[in-house]
Structure 1
Amino acid sequence: MRGLRRWWDDTAGGLPATFWYLWSGLLINRAGAFALLFLSLYLTAARGAPPSLAGLVVGAYGIGGAAGTLLGGVLADRWGRRATLLAAHLAAAGLMAALAFSTHLAVIAALATLVGVAHSMPSPAFVAAIVDVVPEARRSRAFNLQFWAFNLGMAVASLLAGILAEASFTALFLVDAGATLAAAVVIALKVPETLTRRPALTPRAVVGRRPGLHTALTDRTFLVFVGLTFLLAVLTMQTSTIMPLAMREDGLRPSAYGLVVALGGALIVAGQLFVPRLIEPYRKSSVLAVSTGLMALGFGALTVADGLPLYLGAAVVWTVGQMLAAPPNAQINADLAPPDLRARYQSVFYLTFPAASFVAPALGGLSLEHLGERHWLVVGALGLLAAAGHLLAGPRRERRVAALRAAAAKPVESVR
């Protein structure tokens, strides 16, 4: 019992109550965000849309998500984290309820776009609020718990979505709206505003220009890190875009694909809480290089995979890489952001995921069609390129973080 208590203290001890309310809101939000998993099926089965039109509507949701990410970052720095979270959750709940009763395809497409905006707005605000309230020494653990909650919520969402979709698509959307509303209630009652208004001297001192969204979009050190994260996201997206096609070509049934995905989710839920203690002694750039290298090895191994056991073994390797990458990736992103621009930097960072969700299937499909199993060698090479990039970019990132900390400390020293 004493050993278990020590492990829990190392994993989650010392985190403020506000973090746990944010964590609870995120978990409820993710566990309830299941309707969009079945949007394409809903459009074709319930609304009679052809697959091409269903694909366009789902794509519209993705476009809305990209816009919502940037909007959420700007508003979280201007309005505040709490106000942005509440506005986004309430809007998403209302839009999802409207979607439940809409029958015209044009209206559904417009609502899906707006839902994409509302669903993506909270991400920068959530992370910025975590950085606001969690001491720097505990942020790696906080981000690790955030990643764990996200995956646990998605696992619950996948289970509930299948059950509700078989019962009623209307119920699917309404329960999703109810879960989003419940997350809003937790935030409204328990999460205070975490944004501290500061004079905009810190970012100007470091980047040499008036702060704004353009600061993040022209910050070379940060954009190199975003680019490396984009490569990692392209690797991760292989599991939901190209791997199902490859498994089908190998003669494997859809249930085999479900088993591979379920294994990855189970590993994250069972093992993610042990990651911070494992990686704490090492530099973040080294951890990211190792983790990305493991992902490259796992996906590269699919070149010779022709049966379920090899796919399962490869999934273990790349999932371990994902688990190791999550905390340092989030912490570096937080460290590189000037205090006055935390949410804006988060919004630019989160653009990597919708971008990867477009690039991975678009180019991956062509690659698989023309290269066959050699596609996985290309994916592995991208992973190794990202691993080398983290090793090369690590020292410059560390110098940048040190400069930001020194600039942030100057106003405090002057007051003294």
Structure 2
Amino acid sequence: MPLRSAGAPGGLPGPFWWLWGGTLVTSAGGFVVPFMTIYLTTVRGYSVFFTGLTLTTFGVGSGIASLFGGILADRVGRRTVLLASEVLTVAGMLGLGLAHGRVPVLLFTLTVGVGLNATRPARAAAVADLVALEDLPRAYSLIYWATNLGFSVAAVTAGLAASHGFLLLFLVNAVANLLAGVMVYLRVPETRPPPESAGVTDAAGAQRPPHRAPGFPVLLGSVLMLGLLFQQPLVALPLTMTGDGLSAADYGAAMMMNGLVIAVLQLPLTRLAGRLRPEHALAVATLVTGLGMGLTAAVHGTVGYGATVVLWSLGEIVVWPTCMALVAALSPPDRQGGYQGWFLSVWSVSVALAPVLSARVIEASGTTAVWGACLCLAVVCAGCHLLLARLRGERRAEAVPGERASVTHS
């Protein structure tokens, strides 16, 4: 059962706010990953190829950790995985800052990738354990807001810290993760429900794996497409703007609008979306995202591109936390980690596929085709979300014993 606390801030339980605070701390202290390419090429003097190999190693560790971190969170506990992941991250950060030689760099990079990402499904599962279903979209939105706010702080301060030596970046990052681990150790109890509270069973009473849970494959399919969409501002947008005669500084100015929109509008827009059924809110947000990206092909100048960034950022605000809330609604209570792990792993696959697919489209037809494809993909995604609403509605009508209650809104 979710832990409730009448006197807790925002009506959410105290342990949730400690998880939120840990997210803010680790994001604000997350100096290393954004500066990895600069560090490896300029400080360590490694080749571009080895730097790319190192970043791929980080990605492999991240993908593995997203899936198996969630599975372990279901088997050994959310708190155990959260603490272990912070220990791994601290060890990896310190090792990477002091490492000499290609093999140690690769090993410590893998450790950092595993540590940073194993915590994500465990934290998502703990939030689902702690917070009532009707409050989950707001709770995940707060986590997402903390992540983006912290990243904005890190982006500003990391450059200043790097001027005093890159080792300081690794030390600060390690201290931030150590502090987050201490917060979990002191203030966050184990939230994993007992095995007998499991839900989602078939007609014979046997436990269904994630891919057989009602509606879950549809949600994963939409997540794969959403991941492809939200990578285009990093892949296709800089090429589109430079091809239009704009500079890298112009691209940075346009993308700055993304952070500003999230910082200012995340919480009020989440409250507005909360008036809708989550699948419907997700469908609307996906269409807004697709419209913003589709219009990218028609605008010119920094102001025009900035306006499209604002539009798809409004969709982004709703998409990520609503997806996580739907995953929680579809999950059996004792398998939250595994389901969140599948969600994060599929998202990671889309992140890996987006640059390759986009490059092929751009080479064949130019960047305009990418933005047209984004609009079409968004329409298909919105259809998936409406289908998911229908599937969940039919599932509620069947009233299968043992299934976890769904998130509903009037």
TM-score between the two structures when normalised by the length of structure 2: 0.92
Q: 2:322 aligned with 1:322, yes or no?
A: no
What stretches of structure 1 of length at least 5 have no aligned partner?
A: 1-8, 411-416
CA shift at 1:300, angstroms? 0.7
Equivalent position of 2:378 in the other structure: 383
Pairwise mapping of residues 86-101 of structure 1 onto structure 2 (< 5 A)? Answer: 86-101=83-98
**Number of the residue aligned with 1:241:** 235
Structure 1 CA distance, aligned partners of 2:204 and 2:379? 31
Q: Are 1:71 and 1:121, in contact at CA under 8 Å, matched by a contact in 2?
A: yes
Q: Distance in 2 between matches of 1:368 and 1:109?
A: 32
Which residue in the other structure is 1:352 paired with? 346
Deviation at 1:209, TM superposition (A): 3.5
Residue 287 of structure 2 aligns with which residue? Answer: 293
The C-alpha deviation readout for 1:230-283, integer Å capped at 9, x for no partner, is: 211211111122212222222211111211221111111111110232122222
Amino acid in structure 2 at the alignment position of 1:48:
G
Contact 1:206 1:407 in 2 (8 A): no
- SS of the residue corresponding to residue 299 of structure 2 reads coil
* In the alignment, structure 1 residue 82 sits paired with structure 2 residue 82: no
**Which segment drifts farther, 390-399 or 82-91?**
390-399
Aligned with residue 21 of structure 2, among 20, 24, 29: 24
Q: For the Cα contact (< 8 Å) 2:287–2:378, is it kept in 1?
A: yes
Letter in 2 for 1:22: L
Deviation at 1:139, TM superposition (A): 1.6
Deviation per residue, 1:164-186 (Å, 9 max, x gap): 23331111111111111111111
Aligned partners of 2:204, 2:77: CA distance in 1, in Å?
23
Distance 1:384 1:187, change over 3 A: same
1:220 Cα deviation from its structure 2 partner: 6.0
Q: Please say if 1:331 is aligned against 2:325.
A: yes
Q: 1:401 to 1:39 in 2, by over 3 A?
A: farther
Give distance in 1, aligned partners of 2:212 and 2:199.
16
Question: 2-side partners of 1:142 and 1:407: how far apart?
Answer: 25
Name whichever structure is richer in helix by fraction.
1
**Cα deviation digits, residues 124-170 of structure 1 (max 9, x gap):** 11011111111122222111111111111111121122222333111
Find out whether 1:183 has 2:163 as its counterpart.
no
Matched residue of 1:194: which SS? Answer: coil
Measured in 1, the distance between the counterparts of 2:401 and 2:31 equals 44
Q: Does 1:394 align with 2:397?
A: no
Answer yes or no: is the 8 Å Cα contact 1:38–1:165 preserved in 2.
Answer: no
Q: 1:404 to 1:356 in 2, by over 3 A?
A: farther
5 Å-filtered alignment, 1:75-154, equals 75-154=72-151
Unmatched 5+ stretches in structure 2: 1-5, 406-410
Contact 2:15–2:187 under 8 Å retained in 1: yes
Q: Which amino acid aligns with 2:169?
A: L
Residue 12 of structure 2: aligned partner: 15
Distance (whole Å) between structure 2 residues aligned to residue 347 and residue 191 of structure 1? 20
- Provide the TM-score with structure 1 as the length reference: 0.90
Matched, 1:52 2:46: no
Deviation at 1:207, TM superposition (A): 8.8
RMSD of Structure 2 on Structure 1 (CA): 2.2
Percent identity over the alignment is: 33
Counterpart of 1:204 in structure 2 is 201
User: What is the aligned residue count?
Assistant: 398
Residue of 202, 211, 221 corresponding to 2:215: 221
